[in-house]
Amino acid sequence: MVPALRYIRGACGPALGGFPGGFSSAGRPAPGRSWPLCQGGRPASTRSFDVVVIGGGIVGLASARALILRHPALSIGVLEKEKDLAIHQTGHNSGVIHSGIYYKPESLKAKLCVQGAALIYEYCKQKGISYKQCGKLIVAVEQEEIPRLQALYERGRQNGVQGLRLIQQEDIKKKEPYCRGLMAIDCPYTGIVDYRQVALSFAKDFQEAGGFVLTNFEVKDIELAKENPSRSKDGMKYPIVIRNTKGEEVQCQYVVTCAGLYSDRISELSGCNPDPRIVPFRGDYLILKPEKCYLVKGNIYPVPDSRFPFLGVHFTPRMDGSIWLGPNAVLAFKREGYRPFDFSARDIMDVIIKRGPAGVRAQALDRDGNLVEDFVFDGGVGDIGNRILHVRNAPSPAATSSLAISGMIADEVQQRFKL
């Protein structure tokens, strides 16, 4: 059984605790009000939308695209605080198309990664976006890692990952001549792509289908519109007002938030649940010098250690032919801080490696301080909360899973908001 969307019990505004079931009243207007859905095509101005998506990363753009393809008559806007799209997590990652091997069977991550990888390959083929299905080895170098490697292999098979094999030393050498290991999982389905390019292509599809992208729009407030009968004789058509840091506004009926490193803050400012909180983890990469790139053919990963979050430092080929090593995981001092405060890896940088870029992961933490493993989607209750769907935790492999996540969000928006 695949789980449904995972919601945290809604916690918006005055209805806190008084509305079991979170989303159950979504789409219903407040007593005495009527908020009909605008089915009449594009708005006269780009400032009023049926649906607004906050966040122009790969998850927001994929979701906006899925929504407009499914509901071409609706006006849909994407609000992004930067002047360019997809420059945070989406533009700072390993670029791996994950196969789905790692994730707990039946979890959203397992399901959406396996589906999402297939969809990303198909999408890239359709759009002529370069990718390489270069495969991956997960290598055990110590005897004690072998039981964990075998368990991971079984998990991958349970998740339906294609083509998995357990291979021994000789076969590791055939695949990766410079890699030493006792046993490995050979995962030929893993690939690489430039996710920013994919995200920008989603944005293009969205705009070509009639969607609006507003950049330089940093959302600062989300609130209910004051009564304004002149807007519509049936009441307020666009009851939610979203204001940016410059005091500009858009109005809309429904909101989907995909704010990555700021997903907790956006939820909080809409009056919804501040938990789970986001903890930023910076990951630094090293880059192999070009003359040493022959050392690595495909992705090479360690056996993950459950005592640590994330998948471990790995070698990853990039679409430009370079080879990255990383990312490590250190608590970041700033959500979008890509420069290390103190870089301690200097000693290990010899002639084959130079320092590379960094990324910051948005990782959700629950109230007890535990890392939240699965993807989390959240709604709320009350006048605003009933009209919002928040993407609260979309760490790796959310880039791989973006098209699958977007399908799920479109289903949920359609059902909850009765589109």
Ligand X SMILES: Cc1cc2nc3c(=O)[nH]c(=O)nc-3n(C[C@H](O)[C@H](O)[C@H](O)COP(=O)(O)OP(=O)(O)OC[C@H]3O[C@@H](n4cnc5c(N)ncnc54)[C@H](O)[C@@H]3O)c2cc1C
Asked if residue 183 binds ligand X (CB under 6 A), the reply is no
Nearest distance, CB of residue 355 and ligand X, angstroms:
15
Distance CA 30, CA 34 (A): 8
Binding ligand X (rule: CB under 6 A), the pick from 99, 115, 396, 406 is 396
Is the CB of 236 or the CB of 358 nearer to ligand X? 358
User: With CB under 6 A as the contact rule, which of the stretches 6-14, 24-32, 122-130, 258-266 interacts with ligand X?
Assistant: 258-266
| Minimum CB distance to ligand X, residue 77 (Å) | 11
According to DSSP, the β-strands at 48-54 and 136-140 are unpaired
Pick the closer one to ligand X by CB: 263 or 386. 263
Task: Report 23-82 residues binding ligand X (CB under 6 A).
Answer: 54-60, 79-82
The conformation of residue 187, written as its DSSP 8-state character, comes to E
Is the Cβ of residue 22 or residue 95 nearer to ligand X in the bound state?
95
Q: What are phi and psi of 360, to 5 degrees?
A: -120, 120
Q: How far apart are CA 211 and CA 203, in angstroms?
A: 9
Task: Rule CB under 6 A: say whether 393 interacts with ligand X.
Answer: no
Near ligand X by CB under 6 A: residue from 65, 71, 88, 237: 88
The pair of three-digit structure tokens given for residue 321, joined into one six-digit string: 């032919």
- Report, in Å, the least distance between residue 146 CB and ligand X: 25
Residue 320: DSSP 8-state? T
Mark the segment that binds ligand X (CB under 6 A) among 6-14, 175-183, 359-367, 379-387.
359-367
Taking the complex as a whole, how short is the minimal distance between the CB of residue 347 and ligand X, in angstroms? 22
Helices 108-127 and 402-416, packing angle to 10 deg: 110
Query: Which residues from 274-293 bind ligand X, rule CB under 6 A?
Result: 283
- Nearest to 272, CA basis, from 237, 240, 244: 240
Cβ-based neighbours of 102, under 8 Å, separated by 6 or more: 152, 155, 156, 304, 311
Cα dihedral 291, 294, 297, 300, rounded to 10, equals -70
Measured CA to CA, the distance from residue 208 to residue 65 in angstroms comes to 10
Given the complex with ligand X, which of 171 and 268 has the nearer CB atom?
Answer: 268
CB of 274 closer than 8 Å to CB of 267: yes
Contact of 368 with 28, CB cutoff 8 Å: no
Site string for ligand X, 209-248 (x = CB under 6 A): ---------xx-----------------------------
Based on the shown chain and the rule CB under 6 A, indicate whether residue 249 belongs to the binding site for ligand X: no
CA dist., res. 400 & res. 411, Å (int) = 19
Q: Does 100 bind ligand X (CB under 6 A)?
A: no
CA distance 169 to 293: 22
Residues linked to residue 222 through DSSP beta bridges, in sequence order: 242
Q: Which is nearer to ligand X, 112 or 184 (CB)?
A: 112
Q: Is the peptide bond before 327 cis (omega within 30 degrees of 0)?
A: yes
Q: Is 390 in the site for ligand X (CB under 6 A)?
A: no
| Shorter beta-carbon distance to ligand X: residue 110 or 266 | 266
User: Which range binds ligand X by CB under 6 A, 42-50, 144-152, 225-233, 391-399?
Assistant: 391-399
Q: Does 250 bind ligand X (CB under 6 A)?
A: no
Which is nearer to ligand X, 81 or 155 (by Cβ)?
81
Which residue of 161, 259, 323, 408 would you call a contact of ligand X, by CB under 6 A? 259
Secondary structure class of 151 (helix, strand, coil): helix
Whether 220 contacts 243, CB under 8 Å: yes
Does residue 188 interact with ligand X by CB under 6 A?
no
153 sits near ligand X (criterion: CB under 6 A)? no
Task: Map the footprint of ligand X across residues 305-334, applying CB under 6 A.
Answer: 327
- The answer to whether the peptide bond before residue 397 is cis (omega within 30 degrees of 0) is yes
Contacting positions for ligand X (CB under 6 A)? 54-60, 79-82, 86, 88-90, 92-96, 98, 218-219, 258-262, 266, 283, 327, 359-361, 394-400
